[in-house]
Amino acid sequence: MKIIRYFLLGLLYTLALVGCDSSFLDTAPRNAVSDSNIWTSSILARQAVAGVYNSLVGWYAAGYVNNAGRVWDGYSSVMDIDLNWISQNSLVRGTATPSNSQFSNLYKAGYTMINRANDVITNINNVPDMTDAEKARYIAECKFLRGWAYNRLNILFKGIPLILKPIYNEDEAKVPRATEAEIWDQIVKDLTDAINEPNLPSKYKASDANYGHVTKGAAHAFRGQVYLWLEKWENAADDFKAVEDCGYSLFTTGGSIAFKNLLKIANEQCDEMIFSVQCEQYSVANPLNVNYGNRNTGGSMWNNYLPNPYFVESFETKDGTPFNWDDYCPGYSSMTPLQRSVFFLRDGMTNAEITKMATYGADMSKYLPNGNETRIRKAYEDRDPRLMMSIITPYSTYLGSSGGVENTYTLRWPYRGFDGREPFDIRTDANNYFYYLWRKFVPEGNEWPYRDTYGLDVNLIRYGQVLLGYAEALNEMGQTDKAIQQINKLRTRCGAQLLNSNEPTTVKGQADMRERIRNEYYWELAGENVMYWNELRWKTWKEKKFRDNKNGLMQIWGTTTYTWSWLGEQCWVWPIPSSEREKNPNLTQNQGWND
């Protein structure tokens, strides 16, 4: 069992905040009053540091309850939310107002983290029974974490109050917004201070008791990401190169399936993982197993988040050629979505099933009673290997379980199966629809049978992401050949065709390489909660997510269950929450949002 760390220590720290209004964790920054006794004991001071880390949990983990604030790729074009859960995301539904809780919850979570970090940074030097080296290391860690919170808030809200001291009364929190540039400057300063701290190690071994704490490698990786936002390409490249020098590297165990093996509990502390939320059994859990899983995932998961067909279709073929449905299902692109549903039907359909699909609108003249499954499987098997290692595609298998018994299930349409006997079709929350399902982050067999306790760490930065950022920075500097080398490291791991190895993969200049790098971000990192941030940075979010309000949750063949609705250009920036403006009259609202 994994050692319980952040949750319990953070809880002790919370209980130690004598005199603090009990609503502080929900309403920060306002009236937190730290008990000076915390800073008289090294034990309590370490718990205070753990409390800063614990504030990450509410953003990314904290149990299995569906929460749009924890599954950030749900905002991106990578995936969509199941029909039962679309109320989770008012921003892309087109119903958002400044009073929506998804805005206030994240604002409060960010300032909870900032205020806790400020408390440590300001007071830890007063601890009498702690070495100066340990104090300096904790200050560096908390500057990183403060920078993390300010980074997320600044991206979303664009200029927010800059608070660098702990808040002791409500009036101290009533400060105006700093500029976006001022916040970026502070983030860079905090990360630079952390990197320059000699007591912050480059990397921890998995066996180290401090594993999971911030390292110099994490600070370089994070500052490199900030420099990408600021388009300071040379600075970003230098930081990403430094991450390798700190001892991080790609995970390659398992050969051709190393990419799939990476996101398993057994490998959660491998050299690729740079910074993660440390989940623990029975305290906090990775929510992605239940949100991404299916009803045949151990313990019965929910498949709340479903891969978007446009994203799936973006994966190129094995030789690097852009994917074209007509190469596998002739006439596909000229057919209506209803007509081309025929290509996704199982072999050996009954007369009743054939009649039902014909009534639905499928072009049954193209049905192959004994070859339909083989034909459609080819369209997925002949692709970048990361597709089938990330997504459960039609007629691919998945090792699930029922009642503690492992079975091999297959994604078929129409659904006929049973959990415990043939034909073992994959069961979902939406058996009346045929959607792509996630394989990434989803436990297999009896790997983890309890949906609310999955202990896989939530990785926030891994080395594969660093290589992508390094390639992007190099390409923008005009060093396209060096950028190709970084991308080929990722393609080598998964067995994809290397760039510049044949005609389809030949890079035709900087602009072409820019698009190739962006595609690699999707194929490598989809589902890992980073693509929304990248789509905002590249300014492609509106085009990718909404597609002129024609995109949304859809069945594999393109029939739409619902569409997302673009509310307006103000959606590029989140509104300052109404509740915050009521408490702080100095907060101005972002353009286009009316309270």
pLDDT of residue 367: 98
Burial (CB count <10 Å: 0-12, 13-18, 19+), residue 109: buried
Q: Per-residue pLDDT tens for 443-486?
A: 999 988 777 778 889 999 999 999 999 999 999 999 999 999 99
More confident residue, 70 or 123: 123
pLDDT of residue 464: 98
pLDDT at 224 over 60: yes
Across the range 262-278, mean pLDDT stands at: 95
pLDDT at 282 over 80: no
Q: Per-residue pLDDT tens for 503-539?
A: 999 999 999 999 999 999 999 999 999 999 999 999 9
Q: Per-residue pLDDT tens for 560-586?
A: 999 999 999 999 999 999 999 999 999
pLDDT at 27 over 70: no
141: which 2 tokens?
Answer: 């860690």
423 preceded by a cis bond (ω within 30 of 0) = yes
| Average confidence score pLDDT of the chain | 91
Across the range 281-300, mean pLDDT stands at: 81
pLDDT band at residue 61 using 50, 70 and 90 as cut-offs: low
What does the DSSP assignment read for 166-227? ---SGGGG--PPPPHHHHHHHHHHHHHHHHH-TTS-S---TTSTTBTB--HHHHHHHHHHHH
Report the distance separating Cα 280 and Cα 9, nearest Å.
12
pLDDT of residue 283: 55
Question: What are the CA-CA distances from residue 328 to residues 31, 109, 323, 333, 396 (Å)?
Answer: 62, 48, 10, 11, 17
Report the distance separating Cα 393 and Cα 402, nearest Å.
21
pLDDT of residue 566: 97
CB 160 within 8 A of CB 28: no
pLDDT of residue 568: 97
Report the distance separating Cα 120 and Cα 509, nearest Å.
49
pLDDT at 15 over 70: no
| C-alpha gyration radius of the chain | 25
Helix (H, G, I), strand (E, B) or coil at 343: helix
CATH 3.40.50.1220 fits 6-76+93-231, yes or no: no
Report the distance separating Cα 536 and Cα 149, nearest Å.
17
- Provide CB contacts within 8 A for 131, sequence distance 6+: none
Whether this model's pTM surpasses 0.85: yes
User: Boundaries of CATH 1.25.40.390 in the chain?
Assistant: 6-76+93-231
Q: By C-alpha distance, which of 236, 217, 212 is closest to 226?
A: 236
pLDDT band at residue 5 using 50, 70 and 90 as cut-offs: very low
pLDDT band at residue 280 using 50, 70 and 90 as cut-offs: low
CB 5 within 8 A of CB 50: yes
DSSP secondary structure code for residue 332 in this structure: G
CB 595 within 8 A of CB 581: yes
